Structure 1
């Protein structure tokens, strides 16, 4: 992954030769990774990157040749597009049906083996702690400027001077934005165990859920746990978050009862952490992400909006 500092070094070296197609397109993975973290949507991230490249090739050949670092130029353009989209997204969310949850991503290797037999549509995203569902939800609560400053500096290591040019504020202001965002992250963080331990808890949750064992479910859920669902008005789900481990246990047992034998629950990786997929008649209907603190589930995110399940349903050729 090319960092802002590395791109700045390329700029300082004065790479003035006309960039070839390969050099320019090699920035695509970096741009997709950045845009997904900024927007929480793979589909929107791909649209942003496509627009950035369209603007690049809309320039004259001499104009492109005058740009010392195509990667830095593309990053600046993509980040500014994301900043504008984040501003308008707040207005769009007011008409969104139910809660909006970031788009979940499958783990590339396990999904390509199990589903597509080839490269997974999400293999362009580097799965690390900065794309867990809990982290993305915290990012989504930030102001657009906070989110862009924080992701560019703290995740991608861009210096505040470069961040300032993108955000349109002073380096000092961007430093304050990132500091504010960092406090939000620290406040929301919970101590999490290793993935293997979390996978065991998710497995026990699946087993108890399939058995409709309410007592076992309550034992696995934090008393103050929250379950949030996103159907976007396109799939039936609970519109308001369910708060409290006992309430969630009863609600999920009822979901299992209604789903019946048509639904199969599969253990998988969601945004780099253990999760579940619910299949109905062989098609992915819901993706579940979990936040686990200690040995209890603190939050469940259930994504049912079919527009957010493309990487899980169709494979790379449909993107």
Structure 2
């Protein structure tokens, strides 16, 4: 069986699974590469369901990666956010992947997934999103089908079902542009008018870039926070509007280098959540 063809066909789906498991673009790419290197050492033509086999390989590697990273995550400085994923032109001919991408990949939902254990996360995604049977999932994660059923219902009760990805409307895009222009110009009144009263700002600097250690709650506090940091930004900062994790966002660059990526969650024509990733280790896959 042609490994290169298998890679081209199944990579989008496998990456989507790994990214949702790990919250890391770079780690997901590593897992995919490792999976296909390992596949080269097997007799792939004798595998009856190659997609399920690849999902099993990716799932188990993700679980191992998550377990080995527990201590590092516990010692992470400040708030942890997933690595941003630019989703403006995400396409695939694979029906399973098309379905997968319809399910929310927003920052908020990825953070909910992070609250689940490694096995809970795997079982939930394989059942809820990829719609594998409990028997298939049991074989993938090394549990009984009855146990997998219990794990799934526990996970679903904990975080609910993924919401279908919404198209970014012209109004949403316009609101995003208004927000960033108000931000960069210091227009406090406009900024406050665009934010929900109970809006939340989460910044992730990873201890390498100065950022808020805890979430900032409320429009007034968010406005004051930005008033304090904006004068300290370099003069040559520029920004590009794009789609980040299926929601309106932007890429900030300084001197030709990506400085931050932001994603906005909009509800009722107001900005409800702002996610700002500044940790340089989480931005290496994004071009300026």
Q: Does TM-score exceed 0.5, indicating one fold?
A: yes
How far apart, in 2, do the equivalents of 1:87 and 1:39 lie? Answer: 11
1:171 aligns with 2:169: no
In structure 2, the residue matched to 1:10 is: none
Query: What are the residue-to-residue correspondences of 1:119-268 with 2, within 5 Å?
Result: 127-186=101-160, 195-259=169-233, 261-268=235-242
Q: How many residues align?
A: 280
Larger deviation, residues 256-265 vs 79-88: 256-265
How far apart, in 2, do the equivalents of 1:43 and 1:64 lie? Answer: 26
Query: What are the residue-to-residue correspondences of 1:89-104 with 2, within 5 Å?
Result: 89-104=69-84
Judge conservation of contact 2:201–2:217 (CA < 8 Å) in 1: yes
Q: 2:274 aligns with which of 262, 275, 300?
A: 300
In structure 2, the residue matched to 1:67 is: 47
How far apart, in 2, do the equivalents of 1:107 and 1:296 lie? Answer: 22
How far apart, in 2, do the equivalents of 1:139 and 1:64 lie? Answer: 32
In structure 1, the residue matched to 2:37 is: 54
In structure 2, the residue matched to 1:312 is: 286
Judge conservation of contact 1:192–1:293 (CA < 8 Å) in 2: no
Deviations 1:70-89 (A, max 9, x none): 33222111111111222333
Q: 2:2 aligns with which of 6, 20, 30?
A: 20
Q: 2:16 aligns with which of 23, 33, 36?
A: 33
SS in structure 2 of the partner of residue 313 of structure 1: coil
Cα 1:131–1:252 shift into 2, 3 Å: same
Cα distance, 1:140 vs. partner? 1.2
Cα 1:179–1:200 shift into 2, 3 Å: farther
How far apart, in 1, do the equivalents of 2:250 and 2:284 lie? Answer: 16
Deviations 1:235-278 (A, max 9, x none): 22222221221111111122222215322233211012111221
Judge conservation of contact 1:212–1:257 (CA < 8 Å) in 2: no
Misfit runs of 4+, over 4 Å: 124-127, 187-194
Judge conservation of contact 1:291–1:299 (CA < 8 Å) in 2: yes
How far apart, in 2, do the equivalents of 1:274 and 1:79 lie? Answer: 29
Judge conservation of contact 1:153–1:178 (CA < 8 Å) in 2: yes
- How high is the TM-score relative to the length of structure 2? 0.86
Deviations 1:138-197 (A, max 9, x none): 111222122111111111221221111122222233223223333343399799895333
Structure 2: segments with no counterpart, 5+ residues: 91-96
SS in structure 2 of the partner of residue 209 of structure 1: helix
Judge conservation of contact 2:103–2:165 (CA < 8 Å) in 1: no
How far apart, in 2, do the equivalents of 1:163 and 1:92 lie? Answer: 28
- How high is the TM-score relative to the length of structure 1? 0.79
In structure 1, the residue matched to 2:60 is: 80
Cα 1:88–1:197 shift into 2, 3 Å: farther
Structure 1: segments with no counterpart, 5+ residues: 1-18, 111-123, 315-319
How far apart, in 2, do the equivalents of 1:190 and 1:79 lie? Answer: 23
Deviations 1:5-64 (A, max 9, x none): xxxxxxxxxxxxxx23344323223211211111111111111112212222234xxx44
How far apart, in 2, do the equivalents of 1:311 and 1:298 lie? Answer: 27
Larger deviation, residues 192-201 vs 65-74: 192-201
| Root mean square deviation of aligned Cα | 2.7
